């Protein structure tokens, strides 16, 4: 199905609806519904939250990371966020910092991350993959080349932490033009006025950061998260996923009551860390992560039942 | 003071915070509303006579400005060329130029109603200056400092603690300035409601590079007035060391549109530029990238991963540089040159022995370049060096390097 991004979306009945953007028609690009759109359409129809799992590309080594990635959909991941390791992850807590360091130490690069997605796509053409990371490795790779190859290997969306709306010309606009979703973070500091700026050019879904803080920290006020999701939903038809600080199936069940997606990252990369023997992958590394994804995704899925 | 001309090099940053392609606001969304507020608060303060007079008063009575312009007679004679002047930022209260910036930012933080201050520090000079203004204004202060730097700059760690600051050693990475800055940014994201991040150099997201430059411009403006009084003319060359670039931009800014003034920035050449991880010369040995909120020259590998810089000086081993310097490099207005650890050590000792001034190792990098320039220039030429800080903090580590027995 063809539709205009940020103008027209698809609701659970498959009817076209208008997205209330600040300047709806301007800059719109005709684009295909992505795997992300289709997945959220499906979970909406099933009246449940999507489970979004974050793992780090190349952690703890390329082969094990491949095995982890390949098993995520069967374990219950509806959407996969794949971290692009970076030496200076300013918005990440210790767990994800260490995951990135393990990956880099094992020789991971942006080029290899794209190759990893290509291998995954050979067996799975349904599960959306969102690459998440920081801008510099992409900038150095070359934006044009990166966007083109990302589309070719089957990446669906991008989350780039240090590219706010003010820097849209860098990557967001070229990515949208190529048919990738550009998913933006909104945070407790994003007020209604600011939200318009943030939602403009956002597509796929909106990622609500549950707190002012870094990944892996504690959610201080769960009720406030619910209110914030409602507030964002009154400004957009896009699905709203919540992440940062969700660690247990209980958390996932609670957040999944009102959010369209529940994102877990630090807990999963911590499971990788715990499974290591003398810093190297063990026979249990991939299965430990998959077991945790099963438990967490069950939490997200039973939220509304 | 020179007026801003049509082709002026003093027009940056633009509204997006860019100096040419450099600068910008590459930060997480959590911080975006805050840096937009900060810009508003800064614009208001710039026009507020009360803010300006409070700054003036603090500069005069707390910092001890203007700092002297000193004729380095023996070094001039020894080198046998151009006349060498030192702009004595080492005599600024707390022992370096860093206080100039802290005074401006602490007043802003207060205007914005912030109740907690955080800062990163390398050599500890910015940490000390921040702890000092926090003591003066009664605000709690946390300073992030790489664990390696905590070791090599012990006297400054003690000073910060005595001034009431909490010093948090950062063990991530190589435990130096870049890691301290990452950790400060993480704290800021977490405590954004109450906390003001007092960045110590002319880098970071807009408006920091512009703001820090403006608070340091006083260095160059004083140099102009003082050299006019001493010599009746502008200098032929200006030299300053470059960590993130705050003392340098403060020294250079007033002279950017003076074509007769040659300008040099001395970067940390460490063990030499041919060892990839052996230096911190981002402009002579790095390439453009995005880190810590701005696009600038960075030390990085071919995958865009940031490389830890090395320098004997803890204040210069940052793998990046302020965006305005990146712009001045590409526009060729300023010559950036690497100075090795050993050259800096030689300059450190020369200054100490010939002038009775123990310079900071950072400043010694600038002096080392002066020692290359001066003999090549005629005796009627004039060089001004920004002697950005005093070297008390460095005597122990220099002594060790030179194998001096205690
Ligand atoms: C005395 C002194 N000079 C120079 C620097 C380098 O910083 P900047 O380049 O911002 O002036 C430092 C930093 O710690 C310093 O302490």
Sequence-distant (≥ 6) Cβ neighbours of residue A231 within 8 angstroms: A192, A195
Q: Cα(A199) to centroid of ligand 1, in Å?
A: 40
Tokens linked to A175? 């990515």
Q: Cα(B316) to centroid of ligand 1, in Å?
A: 7
* CB–CB contact A93 B186 (8 Å): yes
Active site residue B282: no
**What backbone torsions phi and psi does residue B75 show, to the nearest 5 degrees?**
-65, -40
With bands split at pLDDT 50, 70 and 90, how would you rate the model's confidence at B3? low
The radius of gyration of chain B from alpha carbons, rounded to an integer in Å, stands at: 19
Q: How far apart are CA B384 and CA B223, in angstroms?
A: 8
- The 10s digit of each residue's pLDDT in B260-282 is 999 999 999 999 999 878 999 99
3-state SS of chain A is CEEECCCEEECCCCCEEECCCCCCCCCCCEEECCHHHHHHHHHHHCCCCEEEEEEECCCCCHHHHHHHHHHHHHHCCCEEEEECCCCCCCCCCHHHHHHHHHHHHCCCCHHHHHHHHHHHHHHCCCCCEEEEECHHHHHHHCHHHHHHHHHHHCCCEEEECCCCHHHCCCCHHHHHHCCCEECCEECCCCCHHHHHHHHCCCCCCEEEECCCCCCCCCCCCHHHHHHHHHHHHCCCCCCEEEECCCCCHHHHHHHCCCCCEEEECHHHHHHHHHHCECCECCCCHHHHHHHHHHHHHHHHHHCCC
Q: How far apart are CA B96 and CA B120, in angstroms?
A: 16
Tokens linked to A115? 């190759």
- The pLDDT of residue B152 is 79
| Integer angstrom CA distances of residue B204 from A258, B21, B214, B261, B402 | 37, 15, 15, 28, 35
Once rounded to an integer, what is the mean pLDDT over residues A245-271?
A: 96
* CB–CB contact B304 A217 (8 Å): no
* CB–CB contact B24 A86 (8 Å): no
Q: Which of A58, A86, A90, A137 is the best residue to mutate to test the B interface, defined by the most B CB atoms within 10 Å of its own CB?
A: A90
Percent of chain A residues past pLDDT 90, beyond the cut: 86
Of residues B273, B257, B240, the one with CA closest to residue B385: B240
Residue B228 has pLDDT above 70, yes or no: yes
Q: How far apart are CA B175 and CA B308, in angstroms?
A: 9
Sequence-distant (≥ 6) Cβ neighbours of residue A300 within 8 angstroms: A48, A49, A50, A51, A252, A253, A255, A256, A262
Between 3.40.50.1100, 3.40.140.10, 3.30.413.10, 2.40.30.30, what CATH number should domain B33-60+98-212 receive?
Answer: 3.40.50.1100
Q: How far apart are CA A26 and CA B289, in angstroms?
A: 30
The residue whose CA has the least distance to atom 12 of ligand 1 is B315
* CB–CB contact B186 A90 (8 Å): yes
The C-alpha of B344 sits at a distance from chain A's nearest C-alpha, in angstroms, of 29
Residue A11 has pLDDT above 80, yes or no: no
Q: In what order do the strands lie in the sheet with B83-88?
A: B69-71, B83-88, B382-387, B237-241, B262-270, B335-340
Sequence-distant (≥ 6) Cβ neighbours of residue A78 within 8 angstroms: A39, A43, A50, A51, A52, A127, A128, A261, A297
**A–B CB contacts, 8 A cutoff, strictly below:** 114
Residue A195 has pLDDT above 90, yes or no: yes
Which residues of chain A make contact with B185, given a CB cutoff of 8 A? 90-91
- The pLDDT of residue A46 is 96
The residue whose CA has the least distance to atom 13 of ligand 1 is B315
- The pLDDT of residue A5 is 40
Q: Is B117 in the pocket of ligand 1 (CB under 6 A)?
A: no
The C-alpha of B33 sits at a distance from chain A's nearest C-alpha, in angstroms, of 7
Of B25, B291, B300, the CB nearest to A164: B25
Cβ A94 vs Cβ A70: under 8 Å: no
- The pLDDT of residue A189 is 93
Percent of chain B residues past pLDDT 90, beyond the cut: 91
With bands split at pLDDT 50, 70 and 90, how would you rate the model's confidence at A245? very high
- The 10s digit of each residue's pLDDT in A60-81 is 999 999 999 999 999 999 999 9
The C-alpha of B184 sits at a distance from chain A's nearest C-alpha, in angstroms, of 9
Cβ B132 vs Cβ B163: under 8 Å: yes
Of residues B129, B78, B85, the one with CA closest to residue B103: B129
Region B66-95+217-401: CATH code: 3.40.50.1100
Of residues B216, B205, B203, the one with CA closest to residue B37: B205
- The pLDDT of residue A27 is 39
With bands split at pLDDT 50, 70 and 90, how would you rate the model's confidence at B4? low
- The pLDDT of residue A305 is 83
* Among B88, B91, B96, B99, residue to substitute to test ligand 1 (most atoms within 8 Å of Cβ): B96
- The pLDDT of residue B58 is 98
With bands split at pLDDT 50, 70 and 90, how would you rate the model's confidence at A31? low
Residue span(s) of chain B under CATH 3.40.50.1100 come to: 33-60+98-212, 66-95+217-401
The C-alpha of A166 sits at a distance from chain B's nearest C-alpha, in angstroms, of 7
Between 3.30.460.10, 3.20.20.70, 3.40.50.150, 3.40.50.300, what CATH number should domain A33-301 receive?
Answer: 3.20.20.70
* CB–CB contact A189 B34 (8 Å): yes
Cβ B251 vs Cβ B228: under 8 Å: no
Whether A109 contacts chain B with CB within 8 A: yes
Which residues of chain B make contact with A86, given a CB cutoff of 8 A? 304-305
Tokens linked to B141? 């202060």
β-pairing verdict for A181-182 and A157-160: parallel
Kindly report the average pLDDT of chain B as a whole number.
Answer: 96
Q: Which residue has the tokens 């002579």?
A: B284
Q: Which helix (H) or strand (E) holds B303?
A: none
With bands split at pLDDT 50, 70 and 90, how would you rate the model's confidence at B8? very high
Please report the ipTM that was assigned to this predicted complex.
0.95
Residue A7 has pLDDT above 60, yes or no: no
Q: How far apart are CA B207 and CA B18, in angstroms?
A: 10
List, in sequence order, every residue forming a beta bridge with B26; answer none if it has no partner: B293
Of residues A200, A220, A204, A201, the one with CA closest to residue A212: A220
Q: Cα(B243) to centroid of ligand 1, in Å?
A: 6
- CB-neighbour burial class of residue B147 (10 A; exposed 0-12, middle 13-18, buried 19+): middle
| Integer angstrom CA distances of residue B125 from A13, B116, B119, B297 | 63, 19, 11, 24
Of A93, A139, A209, the CB nearest to B304: A139
Q: Is B125 in the pocket of ligand 1 (CB under 6 A)?
A: yes
- The 10s digit of each residue's pLDDT in B20-54 is 999 999 999 999 999 999 999 999 999 999 999 99
Residue B19 has pLDDT above 50, yes or no: yes
Whether A77 contacts chain B with CB within 8 A: no
Whether A91 contacts chain B with CB within 8 A: yes
* CB–CB contact B173 A87 (8 Å): yes
Residue B78 has pLDDT above 70, yes or no: yes
Q: Is B101 in the pocket of ligand 1 (CB under 6 A)?
A: no
Residue A9 has pLDDT above 70, yes or no: no
- The pLDDT of residue A221 is 87
The residue whose CA has the least distance to atom 16 of ligand 1 is B125
Whether A195 contacts chain B with CB within 8 A: no
Q: Which residue has the tokens 């948090």?
A: B168
Task: Output the pTM of the full model.
Answer: 0.94
- The pLDDT of residue B294 is 98
Which residues of chain B make contact with A165, given a CB cutoff of 8 A? 32
Q: Is B338 in the pocket of ligand 1 (CB under 6 A)?
A: no
Enumerate the domain spans of chain A.
Answer: 33-301
Tokens linked to A113? 């991350």
Cβ B235 vs Cβ B227: under 8 Å: yes
The C-alpha of B224 sits at a distance from chain A's nearest C-alpha, in angstroms, of 38
Q: Cα(B277) to centroid of ligand 1, in Å?
A: 20
Q: B interface toward A at CB cutoff 8 Å?
A: 16, 24-34, 172-173, 178, 182, 185-186, 189-193, 289-293, 295, 298, 300, 302-306
Residue A273 has pLDDT above 90, yes or no: yes
| Integer angstrom CA distances of residue A143 from A147, B283, B357 | 6, 23, 50
Cβ A263 vs Cβ A242: under 8 Å: yes
Sequence-distant (≥ 6) Cβ neighbours of residue A85 within 8 angstroms: A56, A57, A58, A59, A99, A100, A101, A103, A104, A108, A113, A133
* CB–CB contact B306 A87 (8 Å): yes
With bands split at pLDDT 50, 70 and 90, how would you rate the model's confidence at B123? confident
**Enzyme catalytic residues of A:** 81, 92
Q: Is B244 in the pocket of ligand 1 (CB under 6 A)?
A: yes
Q: Which of B18, B22, B29 is the best residue to mutate to test the A interface, defined by the most A CB atoms within 10 Å of its own CB?
A: B29
Q: Which of A84, A86, A91 is the best residue to mutate to test the B interface, defined by the most B CB atoms within 10 Å of its own CB?
A: A91
| Integer angstrom CA distances of residue A223 from A244, A264, B192, B193 | 15, 19, 20, 19
Catalytic entry in B98, B114, B178, B393: B98
Whether A169 contacts chain B with CB within 8 A: no
Q: Is B317 in the pocket of ligand 1 (CB under 6 A)?
A: no
Residue A28 has pLDDT above 90, yes or no: no
């Amino acid at each position: 199905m063809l539709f205009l991004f940020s103008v027209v979306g698809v609701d659970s009945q498959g009817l076209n609806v208008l997205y209330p953007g600040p300047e709806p028609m301007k800059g719109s690009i005709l684009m295909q519904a992505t795997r992300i759109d289709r997945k959220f359409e499906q979970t909406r129809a099933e009246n449940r939250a999507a489970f979004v799992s974050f793992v780090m590309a190349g952690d703890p080594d390329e082969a094990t990371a491949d095995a982890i990635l390949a098993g995520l959909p069967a374990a219950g991941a509806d959407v996969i966020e794949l971290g692009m390791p970076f030496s200076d992850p300013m918005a990440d807590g210790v767990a994800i910092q260490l995951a990135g360091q393990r990956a880099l130490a094992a020789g991971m690069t942006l080029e290899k991350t794209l190759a990893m997605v290509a291998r995954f796509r050979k067996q799975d053409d349904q599960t959306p993959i969102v690459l998440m990371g920081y801008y510099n490795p992409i900038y150095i790779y070359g934006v044009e080349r990166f966007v083109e190859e990302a589309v070719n290997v089957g990446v669906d969306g991008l989350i780039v932490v240090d590219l706010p709306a003010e820097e849209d010309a860098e990557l967001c606009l070229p990515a949208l033009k190529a048919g990738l979703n550009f998913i933006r973070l909104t945070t407790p500091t994003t007020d209604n006025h600011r939200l318009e700026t943030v939602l403009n050019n956002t597509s796929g879904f909106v990622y609500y950061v549950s707190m002012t803080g870094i990944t892996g920290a504690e959610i201080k006020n769960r009720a406030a998260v619910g209110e914030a999701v409602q507030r964002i939903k009154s400004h957009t038809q896009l699905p709203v996923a919540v992440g940062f600080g969700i660690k247990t199936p209980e958390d996932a069940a609670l957040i999944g009551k009102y959010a369209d997606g529940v994102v877990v990252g630090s807990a999963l990369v911590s499971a990788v860390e715990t499974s290591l023997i003398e810093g190297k992958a063990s026979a249990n590394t991939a299965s430990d992560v998959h077991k945790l994804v099963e438990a967490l995704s069950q939490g997200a899925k039973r939220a509304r039942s | 003071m020179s007026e801003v001309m049509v082709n002026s090099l003093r027009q940056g940053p633009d509204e997006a915070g860019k100096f040419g392609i450099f600068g910008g606001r590459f930060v997480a969304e959590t911080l975006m509303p805050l840096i937009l507020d900060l810009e508003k608060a800064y614009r208001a303060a710039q026009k507020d006579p009360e803010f300006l007079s409070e700054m003036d008063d603090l500069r005069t009575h707390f910092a001890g400005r203007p700092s002297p312009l000193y004729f380095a007679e023996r070094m001039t004679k020894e080198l046998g060329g151009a006349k060498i002047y030192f702009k004595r930022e080492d005599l600024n209260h707390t022992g370096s130029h860093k206080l100039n910036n802290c005074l401006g930012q602490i007043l802003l933080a207060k205007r914005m109603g912030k109740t907690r201050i955080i800062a990163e520090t390398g050599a500890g000079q910015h940490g000390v200056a921040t702890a000092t203004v926090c003591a003066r204004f009664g605000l709690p202060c946390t300073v992030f400092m790489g664990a390696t730097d905590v070791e090599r700059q012990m006297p400054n760690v003690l000073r910060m603690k005595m001034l009431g600051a909490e010093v948090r050693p950062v063990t991530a990475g190589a435990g130096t300035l870049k890691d301290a800055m990452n950790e400060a940014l993480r704290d800021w994201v977490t405590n954004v409601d109450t906390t003001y991040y007092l960045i110590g150099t002319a880098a970071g997201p807009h408006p920091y590079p512009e703001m820090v430059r403006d608070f340091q411009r006083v260095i160059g403006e004083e140099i102009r007035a003082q050299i006019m009084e001493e010599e009746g003319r502008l200098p032929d060359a200006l030299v300053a060391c470059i960590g993130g670039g705050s003392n340098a931009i403060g020294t250079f800014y007033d002279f950017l549109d003076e074509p007769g003034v040659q300008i040099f920035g001395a970067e940390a050449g460490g063990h030499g530029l041919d060892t990839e991880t052996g230096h911190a010369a981002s402009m002579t040995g790095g390439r453009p990238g995005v880190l810590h909120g701005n696009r600038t020259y960075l030390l990085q590998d071919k995958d865009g991963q940031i490389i830890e810089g090395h320098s004997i000086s803890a204040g210069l081993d940052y793998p990046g540089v302020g965006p305005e310097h990146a712009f001045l490099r590409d526009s060729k207005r300023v010559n950036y040159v690497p100075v090795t650890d050993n050259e800096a050590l030689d300059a450190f000792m020369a200054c100490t022995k010939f002038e009775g001034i123990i310079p900071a190792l950072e400043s010694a990098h600038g002096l080392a370049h002066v020692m290359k320039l001066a003999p090549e220039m005629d005796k009627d030429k004039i060089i001004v060096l920004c002697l950005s800080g005093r070297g008390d903090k460095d005597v122990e580590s220099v002594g060790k390097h030179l194998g001096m027995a205690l």
